[in-house]
Amino acid sequence: MKLPTPPGLRRKPPRPGTTPTRNGAKVNGAANGDPKALKQAQKQAKRDTRKEQALEVPIATLSWLDERTGGGPFLRAFLFRKVPKGTNWYYTLGSATLFAFVNQAVTGVFLAMYYNPSTTQAYGSVHHIINDVFLGEFVRGMHKWGSTVMVVLVFLHMGRTFFFGAYKYPRELNWIIGVVLLILTMAMSFTGYLLPFDQRAFWATVVGVNINASGPIVGPYLADFLRGGAEFTSTTLSRFYAIHMLLIPGLIIALIGAHLFLVSKLGTTAPPWLKAEKARELAEEEI
Amino acid sequence: MNKQEKERYLREYSILKSQGKPFFPYAVFKDGTMACITLAVIIVLSIVLGAELGPKADPTTTSYTPRPEWYFFFLFELLRVIKPPSVVFIATIGVPTVCMVLLILLPFIDRNPERRPARRPIAMVTAVTVIALMTYLTVEGALAGAPGKITLKTPPQYTAGKLVAAESGCQGCHKIGENGNAGPGPNLTHIGARLPRNAIARTLVNPTSPMPSFVALQKSNPQKFNQLVNFLAQLK
Amino acid sequence: MADSSKKKRSPYTKDRGTLGAFEGETVTRRRFITAGALTAGGVATAAVALPALGFALGPIFEKTVREGWQDVGPEADFNPVTYVPKVITLVADIGEAGKTTIYVRKAVAADRSPSDKGKTPLPYVAISTRCAHLGCPVRYVQAAQRFICPCHGGVYDRQGKVVGGPPVRPLDRFYTRVVNGRVQVGQRFSLNSKLERFHPRDPSNHLDGLWQYLYPRRPTT
């Protein structure tokens, strides 16, 4: 009993309107009796079939996913959408900021595997990271300098958006989300700064919390919330850790999602000094 | 923007967009390159400058000089220059809050549909002024020295006097070179050119309030007192 | 007779064009289920959100537990002329982070507070090293007899009153008493520029004149 041929070896049916050839046009040359051409044609045919076979599995997987998610058209529209004429290197600052954030998140997760958020153990755990853990000082350095780089990039990106007038209609909401992201980024650096619990961290946080306390009426309550009471205790460090690790990153990720959605929906602006020729004609038309 | 302006913008934008290139691979190439550059910068900084850990947090210290991270230096310097106690909360809470609110409301404050920088004079001037101000405050904040040291260069025979000045708390009220506070006392960097040596010694012993008197130092350790006076007298 | 010219509105949602209406759905049923959905959702959200909020905000309303009286040494260690630094515990069980330095000196007549009002004044002056501007650690400079803050230029005189810079009130002090010849230090309190006593405040909180109503006493103190 003959078993059905496995999928890899099945021949694809010829496209309608073409004549079925076994090994491409070279077969004709081979039919003319040239033995060398025949051998070459056979080799090419083997390569083609092997290529087909290699691509069959990924293509099958993708079409399985596409059937169940309907993601094909969305991906195609997203990847191959047009960006306006004149888009230059200034426009990369936004995605560079996103990349810096991803760097912070990834290095942060690895640091969190060794960090101990207790007032008596925090300093020791950071000391352990930089001295004993393999690549510990490097990862901590990446997290520390990554925060500087991210703040710089956020301000440069904001400056670029301001100078290009990209906060005007219809992108006002995107700008507002961006400013909130800026504030959250500064809050991340404020809360993260305390965690190594060395002298610099401790006193910068004391001053920062007291700055919050200086607002009339509401200020001292805000300071109480941050510290977890009227004095700096172990609750304070735990709070800062929870805010730095969970609360603000969650908000940042949600807002970055909204920010990127709006960017792909509305498109990035063209540089403001570009004028479309046709637009001028149309504008004159309507007057 | 009224309806007509909005439509005109959208029309012009759709033309410019259709004349552009596909996001993948052109924009992705630029973004990817920039991501590599960002990563390279972070790695180089991490390897070259490292991540040092200072001494352990010690709330009982009386000798530590707290400083914030560099991107908060402009706020730090603002707190140093705004002296009157009654307006302190404006510097701590007022200015940053007002700035944040103005930033958020920017699209509603600036309703001019014009985008070209050359045609937006108010926006450009405001932006450049704010950036220059923040840069200046950041640099000043970075240079603010600790009150326990005097970094001014002095000839070796006056170093002893310089140390006496540094540990006597003069910088609490006087500026000496880059160190110290700009008030309530006058700047001492060129005091030797303004007052003769005797006048300096007299002021130290019999000052005008609120400056404290150093007569106790003169009596208990006349050598140190003389070193102090000599150091101040050579600040020309 | 019945007013037949007045048309009765249809009791069915489909006739009224309500969104998502289906055949046979009445308006009353729709309204009942909508109200029920909003109520149930509201209750579920509140049941999660309110305890979470209370948990996060709880410390604002609890009185912060502080250390009681602490021994700082025999009376012979101190004098009325100069300050002696001592370390006390503000918060227990968190190691170094819970301690602070105070400067102790025997009290003189000039240190009396108007709040004493005929009662015995405090025997010793125990001054906190937290600057009243934003909390940086101040140091006492014996030669100038001044407390100097390294951060933003605050300067205080021998009694802790402000003589220069941005601090908004004098340095905080601690209650003191003498038991069996040993000096003990108790709770912290704040002062205004007239040396009147108040419940402890955070740095940057003014206490002179009307300012004390902008920075009132809180549940945590």
- Quick one: pLDDT band at residue A148, thresholds 50, 70, 90? very high
Flag whether pLDDT at A28 surpasses 90.
no
| Closest CA of chain A from B66, distance in Å | 6
Q: Give B141-144's long-range contacts (Cβ < 8 A, gap of 24+).
A: B141/B73, B141/B74, B141/B76, B141/B77, B141/B80, B142/B70, B142/B73, B143/B178, B144/B76, B144/B77, B144/B80
| CB proximity C178 to B under 8 Å | no
Q: What is the DSSP code (8-state) at residue C154?
A: -
Cα(A19)–Cα(A252) distance, integer angstroms: 59
Cα(C184)–Cα(C176) distance, integer angstroms: 6
Nearest CA in chain C to B91: C166
Contact C70, C185 (CB under 8 A): yes
How many CA atoms are closer than 13 Å to the CA of B205, on its beta-carbon side?
14
| Cβ-based contacts of A227 with chain C (< 8 Å) | 59
Secondary-structure percent of chain A, ordered helix, strand, coil, rounded to 5: 70, 0, 30
* Residues β-bridged to residue B74: none
- Quick one: pLDDT band at residue A131, thresholds 50, 70, 90? very high
Q: How far is CA C8 from the centre of its chain?
A: 64
More confident residue, C42 or A31: C42
| A-interface mutation test, from B13, B18, B37, B53, most A Cβ less than 10 A away | B53
Flag whether pLDDT at A284 surpasses 80.
no
Helix or strand (DSSP H, E) at A220: helix A219-227
Name the one residue in this structure whose structure tokens are 């390569």: A47
Cα(B181)–Cα(B146) distance, integer angstroms: 10
| Cβ-based contacts of C100 with chain B (< 8 Å) | 59-60
| CB proximity C101 to A under 8 Å | no
B216 φ, ψ to 5°? Answer: -60, -40
For the residues A168-184, what does the mean pLDDT come to?
95
- Could you tell me which residues come within 8 angstroms of residue A233 by beta carbon, excluding any fewer than 6 positions away? A119, A227, C91, C94, C98
Cα(A201)–Cα(A117) distance, integer angstroms: 14
Could you say which of C60, C94, C200 has the minimum Cβ distance to residue A224?
C60
Q: What would the 3-class secondary structure string for A145-202 be?
A: HHHHHHHHHHHHHHHHHHHCCCCCCCCHHHHHHHHHHHHHHHHHHHHHHHCCCEHHHH
Cα(C126)–Cα(C123) distance, integer angstroms: 10
| CB proximity C25 to A under 8 Å | no
| C-interface mutation test, from B65, B93, B173, B178, most C Cβ less than 10 A away | B173
Which structure tokens are listed for B163?
Answer: 């140390």
| 8 Å CB contact of A199 and B31 | no
| A82-83 and C197-198 beta bridge pairing | unpaired
Flag whether pLDDT at B15 surpasses 70.
yes
Chain C (145-204) residues lying within 8 Å, Cβ to Cβ, of chain A: 151, 200-204
More confident residue, B219 or B182: B219
Contact C113, C125 (CB under 8 A): no
For the residues B74-102, what does the mean pLDDT come to?
86
Neighbours of A279 (CB within 10 A): 17
> A94, B168, A63, B136: which is closest to C142 by C-alpha?
B168
| Cβ-based contacts of C136 with chain A (< 8 Å) | 203, 206-207
Flag whether pLDDT at B150 surpasses 60.
yes
pLDDT at A282: 55
Per-residue pLDDT of chain C (221 residues; tens, 9 = 90+): 455 556 788 888 888 888 888 888 899 999 999 999 999 999 999 999 999 999 888 888 888 878 889 999 999 989 898 899 999 998 888 888 889 999 999 998 888 888 888 788 899 999 999 999 999 999 898 878 889 888 888 889 889 999 888 899 999 999 999 999 999 999 999 999 999 999 999 998 999 888 888 898 888 88
pLDDT at C67: 82
More confident residue, B134 or A282: B134
Cα(C198)–Cα(B82) distance, integer angstroms: 26
Q: Residue C167 in 3-state DSSP? A: coil
Nearest CA in chain A to B101: A179
Cis peptide preceding A58, ω within 30 of 0: no
Average pLDDT taken over every residue of chain B: 86
Which structure tokens are listed for B48?
Answer: 């070259």
Which structure tokens are listed for C15?
Answer: 């006739």
| 8 Å CB contact of A199 and B58 | yes
* Residues β-bridged to residue C87: C101
pLDDT at A30: 46
| Closest CA of chain C from B154, distance in Å | 22
Residue type, B84: P
pLDDT at A20: 53
* Touching subunits for chain B (3+ Cβ pairs under 8 A): A, C
- Could you tell me which residues come within 8 angstroms of residue B7 by beta carbon, excluding any fewer than 6 positions away? none
* Touching subunits for chain C (3+ Cβ pairs under 8 A): A, B
Neighbours of A102 (CB within 10 A): 14
Contact C123, C105 (CB under 8 A): no
| A-interface mutation test, from B42, B65, B74, most A Cβ less than 10 A away | B42
Average pLDDT taken over every residue of chain A: 86
| Closest CA of chain C from A209, distance in Å | 9
Flag whether pLDDT at B28 surpasses 80.
yes
Q: Residue A279 in 3-state DSSP? A: helix
Cα(C31)–Cα(C11) distance, integer angstroms: 12
Could you say which of B76, B88, B147 has the minimum Cβ distance to residue C166?
B88
Cα(A74)–Cα(A79) distance, integer angstroms: 9
For the residues B201-210, what does the mean pLDDT come to?
83
Which structure tokens are listed for A123?
Answer: 């300093």
What region does A220 belong to: left with phi over 0, alpha with psi -120 to 50, or beta?
alpha
| CB proximity C141 to B under 8 Å | yes
pLDDT at B61: 83
Helix or strand (DSSP H, E) at A141: helix A136-163
List, in sequence order, the alpha helices (H) in A113-135.
Answer: 122-131
For the residues B176-200, what does the mean pLDDT come to?
82
| 8 Å CB contact of A200 and B37 | no
Q: What would the 3-class secondary structure string for chain B be?
A: CCHHHHHHHHHHHHHHHHCCEEHHHHHHHHHHHHHHHHHHHHHHHHHHHCCCCCCECCCCCCCCCCCCCHHHHHHHHHHHHCCCHHHHHHHHHHHHHHHHHHHHCHHHHCCCCCCCHHHCHHHHHHHHHHHHHHHHHHHHHHHCCCCCCCCCCCCHHHHHHHHHHHHCCHHHCCEECCEECCCCCCCCCCHHHHCCHHHHHHHHHCCCCCCCCCHHHHHHCHHHHHHHHHHHHCCC
pLDDT at C33: 95
| 8 Å CB contact of C134 and B92 | yes
| 8 Å CB contact of B64 and A196 | no
Flag whether pLDDT at A36 surpasses 80.
yes
Cα(B194)–Cα(C134) distance, integer angstroms: 36
Name the one residue in this structure whose structure tokens are 């003014």: C206
| B-interface mutation test, from C70, C152, C161, most B Cβ less than 10 A away | C152
Cα(B177)–Cα(B162) distance, integer angstroms: 12
Which structure tokens are listed for C207?
Answer: 């206490």
pLDDT at A132: 92
Cα(C17)–Cα(A101) distance, integer angstroms: 49
Which structure tokens are listed for B190?
Answer: 């060129």
Which structure tokens are listed for A221?
Answer: 């309550």
Flag whether pLDDT at A26 surpasses 50.
no
| Closest CA of chain C from A140, distance in Å | 23
Strand order in the sheet with C162-164: C139-141, C146-148, C155-156, C162-164
- Could you tell me which residues come within 8 angstroms of residue A102 by beta carbon, excluding any fewer than 6 positions away? none
For the residues B92-101, what does the mean pLDDT come to?
89
For the residues B134-162, what does the mean pLDDT come to?
81
Residue A127's Cβ-count burial label (10 Å; 0-12, 13-18, 19+) is middle
| 8 Å CB contact of A228 and C203 | no
Flag whether pLDDT at A283 surpasses 80.
no
Chain B (151-170) residues lying within 8 Å, Cβ to Cβ, of chain C: 167-170
Could you say which of B10, B23, B46 has the minimum Cβ distance to residue A142?
B46
